[in-house]
Each structure stands twice: as structure tokens, then as C-alpha cells.
Structure 1
Amino acid sequence: MDNNLAKTLGAAAVAVAITGCASIANQSAMDTERRLSAAGFQMKLADTPEKMARLKTMTERKIVPTTMDGRTVFVYADATSCKCVYVGSEANYQAYQRLSIQQNMVNEQRATAEAAQASEMNWNAWGAWPRPMWY
């Protein structure tokens, strides 16, 4: 009986971990797609079975340079969330790179500010804290 309980709890923990990872990946894809749109990439939905089949053969969630009509374009395919393709020029790609750098800087500044705020909090002034139940 205990073995079945352990197996069930283990399976539940794995399911939660997988769901969490998928959620993080989807959020990351949505952030990328927002930046692609802001940079001028054009989005096309895979709205037919033929387009969806083609989309599934493309590199997933990665910007890939390719040649279209004799010029270089950049393609981002997402068959999982938006079921779409983003296509942009060299100028669009450069704008995307700038936006990504700016976002990274904002994220780093936010993390630094949060760390500074946490370190400034004098937790000892609050007195003793009860230990969590698992101690």
C-alpha cells in the first residue's frame, strides 16, 4: 500500500513539474512574440491543415535566417502556442535584438532593486520568527 502511495505522489510531482516547465516555456514564447511584433515582424497564422503541417516541420521557437525571393529573412515558428509564423527583414531582426537587450537590462535592474530592498530589510528588528513545521 505504501509503495502505491509513493508511486502516486511521485507521478503527481512529475506532472506538476512538467506543467510548470510548459508554463514557463509558453510565457517565454509570448514575450518573444511580443518583441517580434514590436520590431515589425509580420505574423501569419497556420489556418489551414497544409500550413499547420508545414509549420510543424519548421524549427520551433527559434529565430532562423533563411532566403526568400533572393533576400535574407528571419523566421520564428510557434506550432505550440500561437500556431503561427513570424517573418521579418534584417532591419526587423536588428530592432528585435535591440528590444531584447533593453528588456534584459530592465530585468537586471529590477532584480538588483529587489535584492537591494530585501537586504535593507532588518529582519532581526521583527523579533524571533517561528520555524516552519518541517523543521
Structure 2
Amino acid sequence: MMKLRWTTILLALSASILIAGCSTPVERANEKNDLLAAAGFHIVPVTTDQQRLQLETLPANRVVQKVKDGKVIFLYADPYSCGCLYIGDENAWDNYKREQIQQRVLNQESMNAQMNENAAWNWNMWGPGWWAY
């Protein structure tokens, strides 16, 4: 019985990892972009060559901190998905970090629900098979 439970848990974890690994870098960037926008970051499209050159000086798809007129500003360069720059203040950054934590909690709850559902599955009624070994 204990072996069956661990096998089920390992199968659930493997499936979750495979599903998470199937998302492309662009899909992950889009999810991050959505969180940034929801947190209050302003989206500035790159429209000139000068903007594009300056955007390329920032690390792609990473938040960096800069200081402008004595105020901390957070920048997120997305040259691949939207070709834009996300700009936020400390309030937007705090909102973004809070949204990230909430998203992790939701993802964990979803994974827990899947694992509980898998643990409740009765493999015994399906007879011996490759999963029993």
C-alpha cells in the first residue's frame, strides 16, 4: 500500500514537471508580462532605433533597478515578445512581488489538488500492470 502511494506521488510530480517544462520561454515571458502589467508597470513600446539600442543594453526578460531623479525605478526589457519596456515604481514592484507570491501559492494548491486526486485513484481495481513493478 505504501509503495503504491509513493508511486502515485512520483507519477503526479513527474507529470507536473513535464507539463511545466512544456511551456516555452515566450509563454513564460508572457505570463511575467501579464503580472507586471497587473502590478502597475507601464508598457512603453519601442518605436525608434535609439530606443531599441538602449533596450538592448538591458538584460532581456529580467527586472533591473535604476535611479531617476533620486527615485528608484524598475525596468523590464522584453525585446522578444512585445518589443517593449515595462517601467514601474517601488509601489508597482511591491505589487508585482505580492502577485508572484500569490501565483506560487495558487500553483502549489493546484499541484496539491492533483496529487490528492491521484492518491485517491484506486489502481488495485485495474489489476496488475507495468505500474505495479
Tell me if TM exceeds 0.5: yes
AA partner of residue 38 (structure 1): A
SS of the residue corresponding to residue 73 of structure 2 reads strand
Moved over 3 A (4+): none
The equivalent of 1:114 in structure 2 is: 114
1:44 paired to 2:44:
yes
Q: How far apart, CA to CA, are the structure 2 residues paired with 1:34 and 1:49?
A: 26
2:104 aligns with: 104
Summarize the Cα distance change of 1:22–1:70 in structure 2 as closer, same or farther, 3 Å threshold: farther
Q: Which runs of 5+ in 2 are unaligned?
A: 1-20
Highest Rg: 1 or 2?
A: 1
Identity %: 32
Question: Residue 67 of structure 2 aligns to a residue in which SS?
Answer: strand
The equivalent residue for 2:8 is: none
Structure-2 residue corresponding to 1:15:
none
The two structures, once aligned, show a CA RMSD in angstroms of 1.8
What is the SS of the residue equivalent to 1:66? strand
The one-letter amino acid of 1:108's match is: Q
* Structure 1 unaligned regions, length at least 5: 1-20
Classify 1:39/1:73 alpha carbon distance in 2 versus 1 (closer, same or farther; 3 Å).
same
Query: Residue 24 of structure 2 aligns to a residue in which SS?
Result: helix
Q: 1:70 offset after TM fit, Å?
A: 2.1
Amino acid at match of 2:27: Q
Match runs of 1:1-135 below 5 Å: 24-129=24-129
Whole-angstrom distance in 2 between the partners of 1:69 and 1:28: 32
Cα shift readout 1:5-26 (whole Å, capped 9, x = no counterpart): xxxxxxxxxxxxxxxx895211
Shift of 1:124: 2.2
SS in 1 for 2:80: coil
Aligned letter for 2:55? Answer: L
SS of match in other structure, 1:81: coil
Once residues 27 and 123 of structure 2 are traced to their aligned partners in structure 1, the CA distance between those partners, rounded to angstroms, is 33
Greater relative contact order (Cα 8 A, min sep 6): structure 1 or 2? 2
- Structure 1 residue 125, shift from structure 2 partner: 0.9
